Structure 1
Amino acid sequence: MEQSALARNVRQVWGRAGTRWLAGLPAVLDEVAADWDLTVGEPFDLSFHYVTEVTRADGAPAVLKLGVPSGDSLRTEAPALAAFGGRGAVRLLRADLDRGALLLERATPGDRLRDLVPHDDAAATAVAAELMRRLHAAPVPEPPDRLTDLTSHALGFDRYLAEHGDRGPLPRDLVARAAGLMRELCASGERVVLHGDLHHDNILRGTREPWLAIDPHGLVGDPGYELGPLLYNPEPDVRDPALTALVPARVEQLADAVAVPVERVVAWGFVACVLSDVWNAEDWRPGDRSPLSRATDIARLLLPRLPA
């Protein structure tokens, strides 16, 4: 049951609570499967949650996702999926947050949008933009207290600057610029339900709809934030200049497709790229291998296009 990547990630993020969850995972899987009348199939690639194919009592395919109950991820994913209501995203079929369990629609055939990159990158970007429009049309729940307010992510910049100052892997001025810019963008923007991590690995080919989003983070904030992950994915850990070279065309296409000014796409892209590597650097210590990804390369590419 215990996969090495899953175990490592869960212990790193949730500490002792994660270790206890890993120990109890086989029992929780059996209990939820019995209670919900599920036949358990093969797990998917595992990272921070246990995610497996299941079949419901009526023969319908589904996905069972189990996570640490005390964690925030499933507790924001569930209300985001409920708000989307199956429009552009997989449906939430059942939830038991006290046990950290979500039952989800299975997207079939399930091919990832990343398969279109780079040979048809414009088509992949068009798919993502259309999903974005559909997702952002969802009404914001009132009150939206089960979703995370986007402005809270700006605190990640503050923590980085307080801990690393001028001695971190990311230049201080780059982080400070992103922190101030994010707060400006949030203050001047709209408020919609955001997926929060919409990129090429979280968009799957479906049958009910041509493409469906999975694994939302569940945020409320300005729609421009959604554009950022599309610029540094897929494979952000691969610092491939050919993938970075796709970004200017993506910026122009996204601006046109979602009716956001180019300068705002550039600004949100810069913010999201810096924030991604700020998160990558959370556990970095002097002497460690650099945590920087292609996101930093793209942030530097966008930097000259920011407003003075």
Structure 2
Amino acid sequence: MTAAPPDLPAPLRLPARLTTTLTHAGPEARAWATRLPALVSDLCERWGLTVGDPYEGGAWSLVLPASGARATGGWPGECVLKLVLPDEYTAAQFRVLDEAAGRGCVRVLASDVDRGALLMERLRPGPAESWDTSPGLIAGALLKFWQATASLAVPPARHKAEGLLGLLDELGHLAEPRHRPAVEAARDLARGRLRAYRPDRLVCSHGDPHAGNLMVRDDGEPVLVDADGTGGCEPEYDLGVVLRSWTTELLAADDPRGMLRAKASELAQQTGCDAPAILAWAGIERVTTGLYLRRLGHDEEGCAYLDSALRTNVRPG
């Protein structure tokens, strides 16, 4: 039985995509949604803010344009208030953003870890998403981000590939029968990245550097939002995430495997990374993202990821 969507009191409105996520994410998430009006009100009073209607598109956070400045804080008049359901990763995510200090990613003005609240600089939408240009722009921002957060690039308690193998085991039943070969291929790729582990090559992963998370400052500098704070991994992981999406382009392409190989080679040259490893991570993430989206009720989008995985299972070599 499908749970009812959270009943969010007026005047605060949840975007449709976030509502779908919270409807399928369990009682804790829905309870968080009902607390949001009071939480936003408290933070506005604390930080001297006025907020507008939420931005659309976020699947797991409420993001509101905000304005107002504290006389002693030096904050700009325009900023952004972001609220996430606090979990085990929240403190790490906030720490990563603080360490980066705006280098390659959004600048944090204030935060409340316990309540999952971030006050950030206001950015402008990035360039139109383009297979030709977006991956290179994201890679440039990642190079700055990795350098800024190098002190946090420590071996994780659990290798990223191990965690994704667990996700494949947990959510594999959500795959349609036609998608099962893609799930098995993703398992093979994840085992390969485990075997290739080298602790001397770790960076602090952004974790979610897709084109929708690329924005620009007023001076035109491209930067990333939504670093997830999941810990150290080889840099090819983040670059694999850069190539994870693009389902429309990949499903329409005559040669999607060649298309991916060419772009992975470009990113490898730009960053000094390994193209086959980039392709492997992209293949793993394409499947796990599709399954996770289906788990959260985004079935059509999730199936597009899985369909594209069937056409692009590019094994290293």
- TM-score, scaled to structure 1: 0.81
Residues 202 and 84 of structure 1, relative CA distance in 2, 3 Å threshold = same
Corresponding residue to 1:111 among 125, 131, 146: 125
* 255, 273, 287: which one aligns with 1:274: 287
- CA contact 2:236–2:277 (8 Å) conserved in 1: yes
- Provide the C-alpha distance between the structure 1 equivalents of 2:118 and 2:301, rounded to a whole number of angstroms: 35
Name the counterpart of 2:93.
77
Q: How far apart are the structure 1 equivalents of 2:88 and 2:39?
A: 18
**Any idea what the Cα deviations from partners look like across 1:174-201, whole Å, max 9, x if unmatched?**
2331331232244576221111110111
Unaligned runs of 5+ in 2: 1-11, 71-75
2:78 matches 1:61? yes
20, 40, 43: which is aligned to 1:8? 20
Q: Which blocks of at least 5 consecutive residues in structure 1 are unaligned?
A: none
Flag the 1:5–1:199 CA change in 2: closer, same or farther, 3 A.
closer
Aligned to 1:150: 160
Q: 1:91 to 1:80 in 2, by over 3 A?
A: same
Match of 1:131?
141
Larger CA deviation: 134-143 vs 294-303: 294-303
**Judging changes above 3 Å, is the alpha-carbon distance between structure 1 residues 283 and 6 closer, same or farther for their aligned structure 2 residues?**
closer
C-alpha distance in 2 between matches for 1:289 and 1:206 = 33
Alignment of 1:22-37 (within 5 A): 22-37=33-48
Cα root mean square deviation, aligned: 3.2
1:44–1:88 CA distance, 2 compared to 1 (3 A): same
The count of aligned residue pairs is 292
Over 3 Å counting, the alpha-carbon distance change for 1:302 and 1:143 in structure 2 is: closer
Give, in whole Å, the separation in 1 of the partners of 2:187 and 2:313: 15
User: Does the CA-based 8 Å contact 1:88-1:134 persist in structure 2?
Assistant: yes
Q: Which residue of 2 aligns with 1:229?
A: 241
Deviations, residues 252-290 of structure 1 (Å, cap 9, x unaligned): 211111111322222222222233234335479xxx879
* Among candidates 29, 35, 40, match of residue 18 of structure 1: 29
Amino acid at match of 1:227: L
Is 1:99 the counterpart of 2:115 in the alignment?
A: yes
Query: Quick one: percent identity of the two aligned structures?
Result: 22
Q: Secondary structure at the match of 2:185?
A: helix
213-222 or 184-193, which moves further after superposition? 184-193
Q: Return the alpha-carbon distance in structure 1 between the equivalents of residues 190 and 253 of structure 2.
A: 28
One-letter code aligned to 2:139: A
CA distance in 2, matches of 1:242, 1:142: 37
CA contact (8 A) 1:274 1:296 kept: no
* Paired residue type of 1:190: R
